[in-house]
Structure 1
Amino acid sequence: MWNRQPSEQELIDPGNTGLGHRQVQRWNLPDGWVISTRPAHLALVSEADFIAVQGMRAAAEGTRSERCYLLAGLLRCGICGRRLESCWANNRAAYRCRHGHSSASRPDPDRPKNLYIRQDRILPHLPALYVLLAGPDLADWPTSALPLGVADIIGRLRADRITLVYDPETRALRADTREEVKVILDPAR
Structure 2
Amino acid sequence: MAHRPQRGARGAVRFAFYGRTSTVEHQDPVSSAAWQREAAETLIARHGVIVAEYFDAGCSRRLPWRDRPEAAALLAALPDPDRGFDAIVVGEYERAFAADQFEQLAPTLTRYEVQVWLPEAGGPVEAGSPLHRMLMTLLGAQSQREVLRARHRTLAAMRAQVRIQGRYLGGRPPYGYRLVDAGPHPNRTHASWGRRLQRLDPDPVTAPHVKWIFAKRLSGRSAAGIARELNERGVPCPSTADPDRNRHRSGQTWSLRTIVEILRNPRYTGREVWNRVPDRNQQNLEAPRAMVTIAAGPSHPALVSERDFIAVQTVRVSRTASDGTERVYRLSGLVQCGSCGRRMDSHWVNDRPGYRCRHGYTSAQPRPATGLRNLYLREDDLLARVATHLLTQGNPAQDVVEHLRAHKLMINCDAGTLTLRSVGDQPTGLPHG
TM-score after normalising by structure 2: 0.26
Count of residues in Structure 1 that have an aligned counterpart in Structure 2: 129
Aligned to 2:352: 92
Would the aligned equivalents of 2:413 and 2:419 in 1 still touch at CA under 8 Å?
A: yes
1:77/1:62 Cα in 2 relative to 1: closer, same or farther (>3 Å)? closer
Matched, 1:175 2:359: no
Would the aligned equivalents of 1:121 and 1:185 in 2 still touch at CA under 8 Å?
A: no
Give 1:24-173 correspondences, 5 Å limit.
24-25=210-211, 64-102=324-362, 110=369, 112-131=372-391, 135=393, 138=395, 146=396, 148-149=397-398, 152-168=399-415, 170=416, 172-173=417-418
Look up the SS of the partner of 2:343 in the other structure: coil
What is the deviation of 1:108?
6.4
- Which one-letter code corresponds to 2:401 in the other structure? I
Look up the SS of the partner of 1:72 in the other structure: coil
What is the deviation of 1:92?
1.3
- Which one-letter code corresponds to 1:179 in the other structure? Q
Larger radius of gyration: 2
Aligned to 2:206: 22
CA distance in 2, matches of 1:22, 1:72: 33
What is the deviation of 1:122?
1.1
| RMSD between superposed Cα atoms in Å | 3.7
What is the deviation of 1:160?
1.5
What is the deviation of 1:153?
2.1
What do the CA deviations read for 1:46-101 (whole angstroms, capped 9, x no partner)?
xxxxxxxxxxxxxxx89644322111111100100100110101211010111142
Look up the SS of the partner of 2:206 in the other structure: strand
Q: Which stretches in structure 1 are left out of the alignment for 5+ residues?
A: 1-8, 29-60, 139-145
Look up the SS of the partner of 2:430 in the other structure: strand
Look up the SS of the partner of 1:25 in the other structure: helix
| Structure with more helix by fraction | 2
Look up the SS of the partner of 2:340 in the other structure: coil
Look up the SS of the partner of 1:154 in the other structure: helix
Q: Which stretches in structure 2 are left out of the alignment for 5+ residues?
A: 1-174, 181-197, 216-320
Would the aligned equivalents of 2:359 and 2:367 in 1 still touch at CA under 8 Å?
A: no
CA distance in 1, matches of 2:340, 2:373: 11
Look up the SS of the partner of 1:155 in the other structure: helix
- Does 1 or 2 have the higher relative contact order (CA < 8 Å, sep 6+)? 1
